[in-house]
Structures are given as structure tokens and as C-alpha cells.
Amino acid sequence: MAERRVVVAPGVGLHARPAALFVKAAGATGLPVTIARDGAPAADARSILSVLSLDVRGGEEVVLTAEGDNAESALDQLSTILTSTDA
């Protein structure tokens, strides 16, 4: 299992549009991917409702996990989305 700690881009957070982009990318990996925030259970990163329910704000750290072939590559891609201010 691959794991990555990522600080979400300041001022962005995982509100509707960035969360939708993240969830779409997580689903495209074809892998089971989770996202967790301190004090909250891990959520399925492929579910928009699960991701939005975490209420992740910009500047907060999240933990991404993925399992399977190319898990490290998938987490690299997802990390880039979370740290981008373009969303």
C-alpha cells in the first residue's frame, strides 16, 4: 500500500470544483484510493460525497493511500491536483 501526506493548496480546499476534479482523477486510476484528514475516518477518494464530507480547507494536510499496480504514480498525480492553485 502506498501512502502520501499532502498539504492542500492554500486558499483552495476541497470545495465543489476542486473536489470534483480530484474525485474524477481518483476514479480514473482504477485503484482503491482513500483520503483522510486528522480526526476523521478515511474516505473513498472516488466518491464526491465522501470527499466533500471531510470539509478539507486550504493549507490542511491530508493522507492519501492507494493499493495496487502503479499506486505510487497514482498518488503522484493526485498530490499534484491537491497542491495546484488552478482548481
**CA 12, CA 26: separation in Å to the nearest integer?**
18
Residue 23 predicted with pLDDT over 90: yes
Residue ranges per structural domain of the chain: 2-83
Task: Identify residue 40 by its one-letter amino acid code.
Answer: A
What pLDDT does 87 receive? 57
The correct answer on CATH 3.40.50.200 for the domain covering 2-83 is no
This prediction's pTM: 0.93
Q: List, by residue number, the catalytic residues.
A: 15
Average pLDDT over residues 4-26: 93
Average pLDDT over residues 12-36: 95
Question: Alpha carbon of 71 to those of 20, 37, 38, 64, 86: distances in Å?
Answer: 20, 20, 22, 10, 24
Picking from 15-19, 23-27, 78-82, which range would have the lowest pLDDT averaged per residue?
A: 15-19
What pLDDT does 83 receive? 94
Average pLDDT over residues 29-33: 98
**CA 36, CA 20: separation in Å to the nearest integer?**
16
pLDDT digits (tens, 9 = 90+) for 37-84: 988 899 999 999 999 999 999 999 999 999 999 999 999 999 999 998
